[in-house]
Chains A and B, each alone.
Chain A
Amino acid sequence: MSSFPDPPAAGTIAPFSLPAAERNTLDSGLSVISIPSGSIPKVYLRLVLGFGMASENPSEIWLTQLLSDYLKEGAGDLDAVSIANEVGKMGGHLNVTVDDTTTTISASVLSEFAPNLVRVLAKIVREPLFPESELERLIADMLRRLDLARSQPGMLATGAFLQSLYGDHPYGRFLSTADLIKQFTTAAVRAMFEGHAGPQDAKLYVAGQFDEAAVLDAANDAFADWGGNAGSVKPPQGVTNERSLFLVNRPEAEQSTLSIGLHVPDPQQHDYVPLVVTNALLGGSFYSRITLNIREDKGFTYSPRSQVFSYPGAAYWVESADVTTNVTAASIHEIFFEIDRLGSEPASSEELEGIQQYVAGNYILRHATPGGIIDQLEFLELHHLDEQWAISYTDQVLALTTDDIQRIAEQHLQSSDMRIVIVGDITAISEGLLQYGNAIEVHP
C-alpha cells in the first residue's frame, strides 16, 4: 500500500452563476418564468398560487388540503378520470400540494407536451368543478390521513413544536381534528379558492427541456383573461423565545423523538445567511458538531439534523433527533453542550472555512437540476428577495469570520431560550428531565 500516492489538491471551485431565467408577465398579470436546463427530455411545470394553510381560519384547519385534493376532481369539460388520462398521455401525474402560504399544481411530462400541460393547468385553476359527489370520499380519505399522522412520532413532534412556537397564529397549526374536517363543505372549498386564487400573486415556473416560444404562446392563450383574488398572510407579531418543556406520551416507545429550537431571523434579515452557515456547522450537515457528538461518538441516534425553516416574515431553528429512550436526557444534555460551546468559544478558522465551502458548494448543487432551480427561485419569490441576493449569496457566505459565527450563536441560538418537545414514553424518561423545567403534557 506504500505505493498509494498522496492526495491530490482539489481544484478551485468556480464562482456560482445563477442559471438564466426568462420572465414574462402575461396580460392577466400571471408571471411565467422559463429556465431551460438539464439534459433529459422532460419538462417540469409548477403553477404556484399565493395562498395556503395560513389563509384558513381556526375552524378551517386543513380546508386548503381538501381544496388541493379537490382540484384534481374536475375542471371545465374534464372529469377526474379525464384529467388523469390527459396528463398520463403526456407521461405525467398531476400533483397538487399545499403548504402554509402556497398551493402548487405541478407535473413533469415528456418535453414535447409542455404546451399541452400549460393548457391543462390553466383549465384546473380557471374552471375547477369541485363536484359535490366526491366530497364524502375526499373527507374519508382526509380523516384516515389525520389518523395516520397522529400515529407517527415525527408528525406529533412537529405538531407540538409548531404549536408551542406560534400558538394561535396559522403557522402554529399542523394537525387538524376530525370534528373540523367532518364539517367541511364544497361551498367552503369554493369560497376559499375564489377568495384567494388569482394571477396577480401566481407564478408559472417551466424548467427542463422545452420549446420556450410554444410554452409562452400556450400560456398567453390559456391564461389570457384569467382574473381572481390574491392570498394574504400576516406574519406572526411579537413572538418570543422561552425555555419550556412539552411532552407527548407514547407508552413503551423505544425512542424519544426530539424537537428543540427557537425563533430566528427570517431570510429578509441581515443575519439569515450567517445563521445558515452557523447551522451547517452546528447540526445541519453530516460533519457537524451535534451529529459528530450524538451519532458518531455516542451512537444515541441515527439521523440527527438541525435546520432553519422559514415562512414569509418568520423563521425557526430546530434540532431534530430520534434517540434511544434510555439516553433521552443525555442526548438533550449533549445537544445543549454543543450549542453553548459554539457561543462560548470561537470556531477555528479551518472549521469555519470548511463549512463555508460546504454551504457555498451546496448552493451550486441546488441549482444543478430543473427541479432544484425552481425550488430556489420559489424561495426568492416567497421571501421577496431579488436576484442580487442569490448572485451574492456565496460571497456573503465566504466573507464570514469566526467572530460572526460566535456572535450569531450568542445572539440567536441561546439554549436557555429553546423550547423542547419530546414524543416518547413519559414514565421512562421523566426523571432525567427535571433540570429542563416543569414538563407540560400536550396532545397535538
Chain B
Amino acid sequence: MSAFQLEIPVDQYSLDNGLRVVLSPDTSAPVILVGVYYHVGMRLEPRGRTGFAHLFEHLMFQGSEHLAKMELVQRVQQNGGTLNGSTRLDFTNYFEVLPKHTLDLVLWMEADRMRGPVISDAELDNQRDVVKNEIRVNVLNQPYGGFPWIDMAERAYSNWHNAHNGYGDMVDLDAATLEDARRFFETYYSPSNAVLVVVGDFDPVAARAVVSQYFEGIPATPPPEAPDVSEPDWHEERRFTKDDPLATQPAIAISYQTPKRNDLEYFAMGLIDQALLQGDDSMLHQELVNHRGITGSIGGGINFLGNMFNAQDPLLWTASMIYDEKFEVDAVLDAFDDALEPLRKKPLDTATFERTVTKARSAFYDLLTSTVYPGFGRADLLASFALIDGDAARINAIDQQFSAITPKLVQTVARNYLRPDGRTVLSINPTSESVALDDGNAKS
C-alpha cells in the first residue's frame, strides 16, 4: 500500500429547514471556498421555459434584499476573491473562493441570496441579452458549436427533459418574465432543495455557528417534485446527420446508455471509459489515432457537462472526434468497432486492467483539484454526492468502488451496454469550405 492516501474530512448535517451542509477543512493553503448547489439544472426545468435554469443563474447575480446588482461580485473582489456559477444537467451552482478570514461575509451573502433575488425588468432584459450573447459565442458563431452536448441530447433522448436544449430557444428566452423568475425561485430554490459546502482553511466549530446564524432563519418550503426523466432502453442503432455551416471537417459522436449511477456496473463503465477513451494509451486512441490516422484526438466520457460523479441518471457515454475527410463514416465506425471488440470478446489482461484501475483512481483525484478555483473540485464532488446520493462521505469510498470491479464485470458491461444495436451515431456534415486543406493554399 502506498504511503500516500486520500482522506477527505467530511462533516455533513442538516438544518431544520432542510438545508444540507457539508464542511471539509483543508489547511494546505490559506484559502476558503463556499459553494451553494440547488437541485435544478437544465433537464429539470419546466416545459415551455427552455433555458430558464441557466437564465435564472444569471439573475442570481442581479441583487437580493441586502445586496444591489453585482454587489456580491464587488464584495468578493474587494475581499481578494473570485467567483463563478454554472448550470449543469441536474444542478445549478454558485461558488466563491477567497483568502481565509472572509468566510463569515461570504456565508452572509449566500444566505441573503438564498432568500431570493430582488430584480427589475431592466435587469431581466439585460441578462437576457447577456445570455443570448453567451449562446452566440459558444454555439451559434462557432464551428461544432453545440456538438456534441446539445446536438446529441436532442437526437439520442426521447424524454423531453433530457432531450431539450438547456441553453434555451431564443423564443423561450424572449418570453421569460419576472413572474416566471419568482415562481421558479419559489419552486426550486428552497433550502430543502440545496446543499451548502465549505472547503478550505477554516475552523469547523466556528463555521457551524455562523451557518446556523445566517441560514437557519430561511423559511422551509417543500422541495419540488422530481420530474420523470427516465429513458427507454435503446434496441436499435440510430444514425443522424447534421449540417454545420461553420465547420470545414467532418465530425462524429457515438453515444451509448450507461448503467445506473452507483450500481457496481456504473463503476465498471467508468473503467471502460478509461480503457477505451482516456489518454494516449487507450484502445480507441491507439486504433483511430496511431494505427489508422483517422483523427488526431478522440474525446468524451460520461456526462456532457461534467464527470461521472456530478450528474444523475440517465446518462450517456459518448466518444467524439473531428476526423479526416478522406474517411467515410462507415470506415470510421468500423475502426471504432474494431477498437471496442476486444473488450467485449474477453476480459482485459491483468496488466491492462491494473493500468486502467490506476488511471481511474488518478483521474478521480484530478477531479478533486482545481487550479483556477482552488478547492472547487473537492467542493463540487462533496456537494454532488450530498445532493444526488444524500451522502457527501461517498467521496472517500470511490477508490474502493473501482477496486471492487473485476475484468469479468468490465467485459459483461461492455457486452451489455456497448451494443451495436444500442447506440446513437451523430455525424456532422461540414458545409463550409476548407481554407487550409485540399489544395494546400491558404487564402492570403
Which residue numbers of A lie inside 8 Å of B, CB to CB? Answer: 1, 3-5, 7-14, 37-42, 72, 80-81, 83-85, 87-94, 108-112, 136-137, 140-148, 150-153, 177-179, 182, 209, 211, 253-255, 257, 285-287, 292, 295-303, 322-324, 353-355, 357-358, 360-362, 364-365, 367-372, 375, 443
Contacts and interface: CB of A to CB of B under 8 A. Distances in A.
Interface in B118-139: 125-134, 136-137
B49 interface: no
A143 B437 contact: yes
A108 B432 CA distance: 39
A292 B365 CA distance: 37
9 contacts: A41-B365, A42-B366, A90-B358, A111-B4, A141-B289, A302-B137, A355-B77, A357-B80, A369-B369
Contact of A354 (B74, B82, B210, B444): B74
Contacts of A297: 126
B392 interface: no
Nearest to A90: B358
B81 A365 contact: yes
A110 B366 contact: no
A153 B141 contact: yes
Given A84-B279, A362-B82, A300 B436 contact: no
Given A1-B65, A1-B115, A178-B440, A110 B365 contact: yes
B214 interface: yes
Given A4-B66, A4-B115, A147 B435 contact: yes
Contacts of B136: 254-255, 302, 322, 324
Contacts of A72: 280
What size tier do the contact residues of chain B reach?
35 or more
A151 B369 contact: no
Given A144-B296, A148-B322, A41 B28 contact: no
A365 B97 contact: yes
Contacts of A111: 2-4
Interface stretch (B150-158, B185-193, B245-253, B311-319): B245-253
B105 A301 contact: no
A251 to B, nearest CB: 10
A145 B296 contact: yes
Contacts of B406: none
A371 B369 contact: yes
B78 A4 contact: no
B102 A10 contact: yes
B247 A365 contact: no
B368 A368 contact: no
Interface of B: 2-6, 26, 28-31, 65-66, 69-70, 73-74, 77-83, 97-102, 104-105, 108-109, 111-112, 115, 125-134, 136-137, 140-143, 210, 213-214, 217, 246-249, 278-281, 285-286, 289-290, 293, 295-296, 322, 324, 354-355, 358-359, 361-363, 365-366, 368-371, 374-375, 432, 434-437, 440-444
Contact of B443 (A140, A303, A322, A443): A443
A151 B441 contact: no
A419 B214 CA distance: 50
Given A4-B111, A365-B81, 7 more contacts: A1-B115, A4-B115, A41-B6, A42-B369, A140-B293, A299-B126, A303-B134
Contact of B99 (A8, A14, A322): A14
A297 B4 CA distance: 50
A324 B133 contact: yes
Contacts of A14: 30, 99-101
Contacts of B213: 5
A11 B436 contact: no
Nearest to A36: B28
B31 A299 contact: no
B332 to A, nearest CB: 14
B80 A360 contact: yes
B378 to A, nearest CB: 8
A147 B249 contact: yes
Contacts of B289: 141
B3 A108 contact: no
Contact of B358 (A110, A137, A301): A110
Contacts of B133: 255, 299-302, 322-324
Contact of A12 (B74, B101, B140, B210): B101
A430 to B, nearest CB: 19
B4 A209 contact: yes
A137 B288 CA distance: 11
Nearest to A375: B371
Contacts of B134: 302-303
B324 to A, nearest CB: 6
Contacts of A94: 280
B240 to A, nearest CB: 22
Nearest to B62: A296
A164 to B, nearest CB: 15
B370 A299 contact: no
Contacts of A1: 65, 115
Contacts of B125: 299
Contacts of B109: 7
A91 B358 contact: yes
A177 B436 contact: yes
A147 B144 CA distance: 13
A286 B112 contact: no
A364 B100 CA distance: 10
A361 B134 CA distance: 28
Contacts of A9: 105
B105 A8 contact: yes
